[in-house]
Every structure is written in structure tokens, then in C-alpha cells.
Amino acid sequence: MCKYQLFKWFQPGKACIFAAMADQQESLKPIVSHAKEYGYVFPSSEIYDGLGAVYDYGPYGSELKNNIRNYWWKAMVHLHENVVGLDAAIFMHPTTWKASGHVDAFNDPLIDNKDSKKRYRADVLVEDYLAKYEQKIEKEVKKGKKRFGDDFDEEQFRATNPNVKRAQDKIDNVTGRMKEALDNNDLVALQQLIEDEGIADPDTGSKNWTEVRQFNLMFGTQLGSVAGDSSTIYLRPETAQGIFVNFLNVQKSSRQKIPFGIAQTGKAFRNEIVARQFIFRMREFEQMEMQFFVRPGTEMEWYQYWKEKRMNWHQALGTDPARLRFHDHIKLAHYANAAVDIEFEFPFGFKEVEGIHSRTDYDLGRHQEFSGKKLQYYDPELQQNYVPYVVETSIGLDRMFLLILSSAYTEETLEDGSQRTVLKLPPALAPVKVAVLPLLKKDGLPEKAREVLDELRFDFNCQYDEKDAIGKRYRRQDAIGTPYCLTIDHQTLEDGTLTIRERDSMAQERIAIEQVRQIVHDRVDMTKLLRQI
């Protein structure tokens, strides 16, 4: 199992985080099909029936991704004098991954069903099994609410109802056994748990399992033409190691003094066993990571600082605060002295989007040991050399993309009873900022509209659309999340004004063409978000 994630899911008594895999797929369905229909995300190599957990970003998806990355980069690098950027290679010397611990410990517990030949993550099988008990509890609570109406005391009901108690006991017991097995890296105990509980293949019902084995998540390949262990290199499973090995190069060349940070965005690769959650868990994905190097003993102060900064970054986007929360890691990796996740309530429950980890001097220390090169900083104030401590912020760009889509995707019934699907994207992140629409395809309106468009496209990503009735064109822009539509009509030709329509309220205002640039700029500018962080 991923060394950073080993115990993140585990919350005794809070089994509501166990969401059934089938439900996960079901709850994402409208978003997945909308993303495909409107050019946000496509399955990779779809004409060959796709490739598991690999996706391509379409015309709007690639714009949205760029905007999210840009928002992160500006917030982390441009707004911090003491954070600088890096773009390290994906391939690294193989010893990097020995030193980082990934070769020996970047594993997930894997189990195969002998009848169906399907492969599962053993811990996820157990999670899904527990989700059924959680659903039972929720059903009982619902029944209770219906029966007792306003007098219903949910806390008391959960504590006393025999059916709820039985299900909760089961959840606590199985969760406890699983935690112990994972804690001790005891794969036999995990296997025994699956057997004792009679957990079956969710697809076929077969209980004919292989033993549980560790499965390393790194993709290996050969460097050059000679095959063999010595030439095996890996596609990086995290971008962070590129930062650690460049620590001194960056510090010296940018004349940074501790505390300072190095930020980078880039692809990472993990051979995930479970691959059924759209872009939540991918085999090829992008990370946005920052390692902040500090004087030993000051790391908790910086950990708090970055925890707050990162939550502010999320909240500035206008995401419903009730759908964001911190979740402290219950058990820390051996090299960490604090770790927390920022979780978002996806359609399939609260899940991690970002991690903030206080990683001590573990990584630099290990690279120093394995490379034989000193990775130390001379602190002029203390007049001594030391291996700096590190506070890391690590967010998945694709997961953030899914967060944005999940919170933006809205199906609405309008006053006239008609339906619309709208992506209420933060305007600063929207792929297209403005659509310019001539009311009719004649009378010089298209020419005037193009004139307006040609001026605006220097400042904003714009779209021109003259096909179909105006209402239909508004719906199309709603579906891709364009915050503003400008309509050019006959009055525009007479007095130089046009209509600006706001996506979420659908309110329309008449303004002069000369005002458009400033008005749109004021409303879609990323600076507004950045100032809130």
C-alpha cells in the first residue's frame, strides 16, 4: 500500500467513509458523461476500448487543467519570495527510489479471484464489504426518522437500536482487525479476515481467492538496449524526489536561505490495482508538489502555516466550506511527525485531495546516505551545518479537476419548467471566459460580433457561436461553464451597446461595448482569488 496512504482511510466508528465501489461509479456517472460530451475528459485510446485508469483531457479539459495549475503556481511560487520553481525529469537514477523507500515499500496488498480471474486490492475488498453494513445503518436511521418524526434523537438511536449496534460492532471489529493486519504488514491476517467474513468477489460471488501478496506500484522500464536489473529505471511515482535530489542545486543557484521552498508540477505514475473511480485514481496523473526546507525544530510552525495557506487556497475558489475538511492521519509513517489530508466531499463521499506532511529530514538524509554526497545547509545565524527538515504540500491536479467538476456540475429546473445543466465553475478557472453571440445570422450582426470578439480575444479565451436559436446557444455555454455571454443585436448597431448575460443567475444587463473588457476582467480575474489566500 502507498506509504503515504496506509492509514488514511481508517477512522474507527466513522465507517461512513467506506463508499461502495458500485455506488462510486454510479454517483459519478452524470459527471463522467458530461465531461465526455462537452470535451473535458475522454477515456484514453477509446477506439481500442480505452486503457484502465488512463484518461485524455479534451479542448475544455486541457484549458481547465492549465488554469488550475496556473492558480496553484501563482499562489505557491509568485506569491512567495522564498518559493522557487523546478521542472525535473520524469526518469531518475534508479538509486533514487531505493533511497526514498519506494522500491521496498511502495506496495498495495493484492488478491486475485481464481474463478473470475479478477484482481482486487485486499483492503478495498474489505472496505466495500463494510460499506454494506454502513448502508444498513443508514437505512435503519432513515426508518427511525420516519417513525419518530420531530422527536427523533439520532445519537441516541444509533447508540441503542439493536440492528444499528450489531452493524456498528461488525464494522468496528472488522476495521480493527484490518488495521492491525496492515499495521503489522501481516498479509496472512488480512487473508484470514477475508475468509472469516466470507467476502466474495463483488462481480461473481466467488470466494475462491489466492493468497494476499504485496504489489509494487511503480512502473519499471529498461534504460538503453540492455535488459536486466541494473538497467531498470522507474517512471516516477511522485514528483517530490526530483525536488529532494536538486535541493542544493536550487538553493545555491537561486541564493535562497532557509526557510525556502521548491515547487514543481508534473506527471507521476502508479500501477494502481483499483481503477474504477474515473480521474480520482489514475495510473498516469499529475501532481503539484512543494517541499519547504526549514531549520530543524521549526517544522511544526511551518506545518501550521502551510495547512492554513492550502485550505485558504481551496476556499478562495468558493467551494462550499461544508464540503472541505481536514483529516489528520491516525498513524504516521515512521519518518513523519505530522500529516493531514484536505478532504473534499465527492459524490462518493469525503476523500483526500491534498496532503500536508511534515517529513523531518528523512528524504534528504536518505539521499545523503545513498549518494555519499552531503545534502546540508550552512545556517549563518546558527553558524552550523544541518540537514534541513521538510514540510511538504502535495495535491493531485486531476483530483483537483474532479473536485472542481463535482462542485460545479448542477442540474437545474428553471421557472418555466425547463431543465438546464450548468457547470458553475469559478470564473477565474473557466476554460472559456466569454462567448460572443450575434442574435441573428444576418443584418450585419455577425460582422459586429466578430469585431467585438477580435478585441476581446487578446485578453480572454473567447468563443464565437452563431448556430441555432439564442436560447440553445446559452445552454451550450452553460454546459461548458462559460461565465459570460455577450449578445449582439440590432440595438448594438444603433447605440454601441450589447447584452451581457451571467451564467449562474442568467441575469442580463445592457452595457456599452467599451465597458466590456473592464467588466469581464474585473469578474474573471484570478487576482481576486489570490488576494484571499
Q: Which residues bind ligand GAP (CB under 6 A)?
A: 2, 4-5, 238, 240, 270, 272, 281-282, 285, 287, 289, 352-355, 392, 394-396, 398-399
Q: How far is the CB of 92 from ligand GAP (least distance, A)?
A: 14
How does DSSP classify residue 200?
-
Q: CB-wise, 157 or 335, nearer to ligand GAP?
A: 335
Rounded Cα gap, residues 134 and 533, in angstroms: 37
Rounded Cα gap, residues 484 and 503, in angstroms: 6
Q: CB-wise, 28 or 488, nearer to ligand GAP?
A: 28
Quickly tell me which residue has 478585441 as its cell.
455
Phi-psi region of 255 (alpha: psi -120 to 50; beta: other; left: phi over 0): left
397-408 helix and 21-37 helix, angle to the nearest 10 degrees: 80
Edge to edge, the sheet with strand 213-216 lists: 119-121, 107-112, 213-216
Q: CB-wise, 281 or 501, nearer to ligand GAP?
A: 281
Q: CB-wise, 312 or 515, nearer to ligand GAP?
A: 312
Q: CB-wise, 352 or 489, nearer to ligand GAP?
A: 352
Q: How far is the CB of 8 from ligand GAP (least distance, A)?
A: 8
From 308, 241, 243, select the one nearest 75 (Cα to Cα): 308
Radius of gyration of the chain (CA): 26
Q: How far is the CB of 395 from ligand GAP (least distance, A)?
A: 5
Rounded Cα gap, residues 47 and 61, in angstroms: 19
Q: CB-wise, 256 or 394, nearer to ligand GAP?
A: 394
Quickly tell me which residue has 495549475 as its cell.
69
Q: How far is the CB of 272 from ligand GAP (least distance, A)?
A: 5
Q: CB-wise, 135 or 315, nearer to ligand GAP?
A: 315
Is 243:364 a contact under the CB 8 Å cutoff? no
DSSP bridge pairs for 500: 486, 509
Q: How far is the CB of 137 from ligand GAP (least distance, A)?
A: 28
Position with the least CB separation from ligand GAP: 396
Q: How far is the CB of 220 from ligand GAP (least distance, A)?
A: 17
Quickly tell me which residue has 480505452 as its cell.
50
Rounded Cα gap, residues 481 and 426, in angstroms: 9
Q: How far is the CB of 392 from ligand GAP (least distance, A)?
A: 6
